[in-house]
Structures are given as C-alpha cells and as structure tokens.
Amino acid sequence: MQIPHGATQDVDFMFTKLVVRDLQRADNFYKAAFGLVEMHRLDAQIMGRPVSEIVYQPTYQGGPLFILAHFPDDTGVSSNEMMLGFAATDLEACVRRVEEAGGAVLDYPKALPEGVPPHAFVKDPEGHVVQLSQRMG
C-alpha cells in the first residue's frame, strides 16, 4: 500500500525532535527498541539555551530524521518535549508565512558552521516550537 503525499507550499516535513531528561538512557532505548542508527551527535544552542542532540538516520530512503535533545538546564518534567522540523526552499519566505498565519519568530534565520543549513525557530499560535531549516541541495 502506498501512502499518498502532498503539500501546498514549498516546505517538507524534515524531523521530529524529542526533548528528554536522560539523553544516554533515551539513546539506549530507541536504539534497542526500534533499531535506530545514530548519524551524529552535536552540542548547540537553541534560543540561547545549551542543548545536546543525537541525530538518527532516516528509517527509509528520503524519510524524516528522528532527534533526541537534552537541555542540561531543564530538570523538571517538560511540557514542550517535542519540536517539529520543516525544511523550506526559501527560509525567509517560510518565516514570513509563519508570521502571517499567526505564529511568532523566536530566533531569526542565521548561518551556522559549514554543512549545517541556516535555520530559525518559530512558534505556532498555541506556543509549540517549530524549527525551520533551509533545504539543502
């Protein structure tokens, strides 16, 4: 059975990022339970907060990524444990569409180290954080 697909804009679903309290324990679980294959790890900042991430390979050709993220300054139960990620052909246009649709920009597009696409962080009208990345290639 083929699953239909489509979009009305130049934007694709890119990844799911799950925020966890114990990064290594979560890594062990997702590898053991679902056979995920680690692609790389990185330490970065999101909206001024340090974060450690583990990025896993897509489970099928062209599929979205799964990412585990840990904020060391977050010791409580998270109410915003997940971020959606989308890749856009025109990042600036996508950011404008978010604002026009009632969302807000949290962190404007910026350039990162070579090989890492520029990205922005926005929130939807309910406050859910979404990372928008420039589509590569």
Q: Is 81 helix (H, G, I), strand (E, B) or coil?
A: coil
Q: Give how far the C-alpha of residue 38 lies from the chain's centroid of Cα atoms, to the nearest Å.
A: 16
pTM: 0.70
Domain segments of the chain as ranges: 11-134
How many CB atoms are closer than 10 A to CB 50?
A: 12
Where does 11-134 sit in CATH, by number?
3.10.180.10
**pLDDT for 77-100, tens place per residue?**
555 667 878 888 899 999 999 998
Considering the chain, what is the average pLDDT of its residues? 85
44 contacts 131 by C-beta, under 8 angstroms = no
In this structure, are strands 129-134 and 119-123 parallel, antiparallel, or unpaired? antiparallel
Q: Indicate whether 52 pLDDT > 50.
A: yes
Q: Indicate whether 118 pLDDT > 50.
A: yes
What φ, ψ does residue 63 adopt, rounded to 5°? -75, 170
